[in-house]
Chain A
Amino acid sequence: MLSINDLRASIEGKEILKGINLEVKPGEVHAIMGPNGSGKSTLASVLAGREEYEVTGGNVVFEGKDLLELAPEERAAEGIFLAFQYPVEIPGVTTINFLKTAVNEIRKYKGEAPLDAAQFLKMVREKAKLVSMNDSLLKRALNEGFSGGEKKRNEVFQMAVLEPRLAILDETDSGLDIDALRIVAEGVNTLRSPERATIVVTHYQRLLDYIVPDYVHVLYKGRIVKSGPKELALELEEKGYDWIKAEVEAVG
């Protein structure tokens, strides 16, 4: 489904991703962990198409298409979804209106007729229930004045509405209380299917208790320096990153 080959990217002349390789198959969940500043959000942003990053090498193939050739909106329409680590506040645009535009733009891309107001509302209500998203938030300006947890929940809600093939969750667990964490994780799990895949960026095992990964990768200084089964996350939780850093330095 997604194949990342020796991907390199830089910003303002500084190389952040230094050759990433990752293979994601339908139905899989991959967790990406790693110390602060190692490049996890950068990887997520490059996959979503943020234009500030310059791709300096490698390639990314998504469902047979050269992903890096596509505009961010085309990637979304092809089925990529990024839950932002820091969701953006957009005054004056309501969450509901924003989502309606998004849904219908994607339908247009696929050559489908737009949903009418009733169909859209019915669908949105179901999805809102799925992640216990409060109705009043839908009518407010997108993320404006939302609490940290409400913003994260809104990301998962949007994901539920857009039903992406590949969801990338960038620290969606941070800022969530225990109950919210469970609800959000359940939302993610409900969407899991043999056709869909998820990349979960997180610092904590507790999310992975709910969303159990097939693989865990450690990103350090712009490279994936270690990959393993779900137990690797437990080991990291226990021992921290020093031993991995030491391994990397030893190899040089």
Chain B
Amino acid sequence: MARTVWDSTVGKKAVMAVSGLIMLLYLVVHMIGNLKIFFGPGEFNHYAHWLRTVGEPFMHHEWTLWLVRVVLVVAVVAHAVSAYQLSRRDIKARPSKYVHSKPRASYATRTMRWGGIILALFIVWHVLDLTTGHVHSGGFESGKPYQNVVDTFSTWYGNAVYIVAMLAVGLHIRHGFWSAAQTLGVGSRTRDRALKTVANVLALLLTAGFLAVPVGVMTQVVS
């Protein structure tokens, strides 16, 4: 069955949809967690510490966190590889453009591809910035995420990269959530409006929620 799914354009798209929805679920949780920064360093740092102790005593220290990380890496890789393979196939299937071409025809598809590439680069930068600290601007200290976040958003490029990526996430989810419903066969004429509304609301809430943090730092609400 795995072979049938991976070898078919319809199946590979389903892999994209499921991995995309897993990432989407994670983003919702992540966004809510980020907002704790508005309650001060104590609460935010405590929350970050708690992430490492979730599930104890059944789970050992950091096991739950690592489990989530593994699921996310699998989702990102599955999503990116299928996106790459499907996009290559799509471009090959339509080699010559119309002389009289209409830009609208590929607007959503192009934004998804460019947005996806921006997101892939952002994910790498983001992990190196705030998880490992390799590209961090200040003196990165693990266990002190509040200060690390403030440092990142105290640089112009930290803000710029982050804002661009969050706008890309919003656009990606706007088309992606609705698309995933179609790919998984749960869309229908009667549900179309509801699905589009949920997609727009999710995109807006996530973008606004994520952007609240750099805006908070820039306006010194968080410092």
> Does chain A bind chain B?
no
Interface residues of A (CB under 8 A from B): none
Interface residues of B (CB under 8 A from A): none
